Structure 1
Amino acid sequence: MHQTTNTILMIRPVNFRMNEQTAVNNYFQEDLNIKNAEINKKAQEEFDAFVDKLLAVGVHVIVENDDKLMDTPDSIFPNNWVSFHENGDVALYPMFAENRRKERRDEVFIRLEQEGFKIENIIDYTSAEDEGIFLEGTGSLLLDRINHKAYCALSPRADEDLFIEFCEDFEYSPIVFTANQTVDGKRLPIYHTNVMMCLAEKFAVICLDSIDDKKERKQVVKSLKEDGKAIIAITESQMHQFAGNMLQVQGHLNQRYLVMSESAYNSLTKSQIAEIEKFCPIVYSSLETIETCGGGSARCMMAEVFLPKA
């Protein structure tokens, strides 16, 4: 098993804007008060520049265009609806926002097969939507593929029973907790685990301050330490700059890189950067429009492809 891959699927937006259906519990989204066409144009520019940075270090990026007729403003975040596994399994996930469900498109699978990847089985959890139960892919699930552990911060978009079912199906040990953020003076659940935590091969970047329950916090720390991972703690305000929303990928000659947005990078202290760079170089790109309107960042834009080659 591998923790990192050199192949990433990304969806280039055609109708990107602030999604009113996700804003109800994604407290990272803000209204920019500019025309949607302008927002989409800026998002496309940020997307293209980001892809160029990944290609420059040797990451294999498969860019699929979104379908204009679908009206899927969040299609730029494919990791929420699908995950691709080394044994050829593909998991499809139930999505909280109705207009995000249309992001699940067969064209994506056809494209991957054209690129030489083999899809053996599709494990489909999407019927849970009928019961109002959601689990939004590797937004909700952080997979330690080597140690067979899955971390999940429960929220309206991450159901505990469905998470346990996923872990049974894919043979992961579940680590469940709640991560909160302060919104108008109240502690409310963070919508996705991958906003407050990043799991790399030898380290984890995590906002421990968001895990209010001391017992749960200890359990998460213990689990990471058991697997020999260094813990790089970030603050809640760094998390709001998307410093938890990072992904380790492979580039040229299997060199590892930690990928993040420019705002995430700028929020880090010199010592945190030095700590990360002990393990691998950092790649960052400006994603300001995407972060502000979409409430997601670099990690959310990259669906890792672990599928076997045909």
Structure 2
Amino acid sequence: MQITNTILMVRPVNFRMNEQTAINNFFQEDLELKNAVINKKAQDEFDGFVNKLRAQGVNVVVVDDTLEPNTPDSIFPNNWISFHEDGTVALYPMFAENRREERREDILDFLEDNGYRIDNIIDYTSAEEDDLFLESTGSMILDRVNKKAYCALSDRADEELFIEFCEDFEFTPVVFTANQSVDGKRMPIYHTNVMMCLAEDFAVICLDAIDDKKEKKNVLFHLKQDGREVISISESQMHQFAGNMLQVIGSNGTRFLVMSTSAYKSLSKQQLKQIESKCSILHSSLDTIETCGGGSARCMMAEVFLPKFEN
């Protein structure tokens, strides 16, 4: 399965702009608001988003964040964990020290208590001691059917660690560099999942971000080899989080491409037509979360592919 109907989401209690991630996340901006106001706005956006997903039959498992430790980015669980169909869970090394506190064993216990089977845990977090990072499905876009993994290298995506992951999970690595313009310079994009989304039979990708022609050609070769229609977005659309999308399954097997309202509004009529010829679109306003957190809809959803216990 490339996509799932079960999503893990973490409801924030201390959401704010994380100064430790702002170093290399150029999507973050400071909202001159008190943290309590920012957190309340983020909670409202989170709740509205969850309600929209559930209304379409998506199974959303919501876990509340805890006040201690202070984890401003806990709303983005897809960066520290990934769940796999064979009952394996992987835990990942995080660039920002305060994000490492997001990893919670009780979330795994909660999933098991709710009937999900965890047979094996692969833990990459010791790489943090060597200042090497790989932030799960933020850093990697997984083609679970064709067993390929796409990774734009950055401070948060180490090539050797990525190759190690691919060996452990038997994925073919597709490595490249993706850049954005920051104050006239080309700088690495902090996460692959802000410039690329892989759905069942199409891909949304900011090809303009891949400056190296050979790398761009290689990425396109793999996408087309697997029969995916490529929907190309511009760098300005990427900055409205048009690359940060996730395809999910709703009731009666209906497919939805989930994105923020700002991403939706940035798309052209032609791009919307291309997507809607493949699946429905579900969008929700995430303005505060996007501005302060520098992440959007896809970052908030950790896909659960774990098998369920037999009754």
TM superposition score category, shorter chain reference: over 0.9
Question: C-alpha displacement at 1:111, in angstroms?
Answer: 1.0
State the 4+ residue runs in structure 1 displaced beyond 2 angstroms.
none
Question: C-alpha displacement at 1:267, in angstroms?
Answer: 0.1
Question: C-alpha displacement at 1:107, in angstroms?
Answer: 1.1
Q: Residue 132 of structure 2: SS of its match in structure 1?
A: coil
Q: Residue 68 of structure 2: SS of its match in structure 1?
A: helix
Is 1:139 aligned with 2:138?
Answer: yes
Tell me the amino acid that sits aligned with residue 28 of structure 1. Answer: F
Gaps of 5+ in 2: none
Show CA shifts across 1:27-74 (max 9, x none).
000000100000000000000000000001000000000011110000
The 5 A counterparts of 1:152-301 are 152-301=151-300
Tell me the amino acid that sits aligned with residue 19 of structure 1. Answer: N
Question: C-alpha displacement at 1:114, in angstroms?
Answer: 1.4
Partners of 2:93 and 2:104 in 1: how far apart?
14
The 5 A counterparts of 1:20-169 are 20-169=19-168
Show CA shifts across 1:89-130 (max 9, x none).
000000000000000001110111111100001000000000
Question: C-alpha displacement at 1:194, in angstroms?
Answer: 0.2
Show CA shifts across 1:141-182 (max 9, x none).
100000000000000000000000000000000000000000
Question: C-alpha displacement at 1:254, in angstroms?
Answer: 1.1
Q: Partner of 1:7 in structure 2?
A: 6
TM-score (normalizing by structure 1): 0.99
Question: When the two structures are aligned, how many residues end up with a matched partner?
Answer: 309
User: Percent identity over the alignment?
Assistant: 72
Give the root-mean-square deviation of aligned CA atoms: 0.3
Tell me the amino acid that sits aligned with residue 198 of structure 1. Answer: C
Q: Residue 48 of structure 1: SS of its match in structure 2?
A: helix
Q: Residue 94 of structure 1: SS of its match in structure 2?
A: coil
TM-score (normalizing by structure 2): 0.99
Partners of 1:254 and 1:73 in 2: how far apart?
34
Partners of 1:67 and 1:174 in 2: how far apart?
36
Q: Residue 61 of structure 2: SS of its match in structure 1?
A: strand
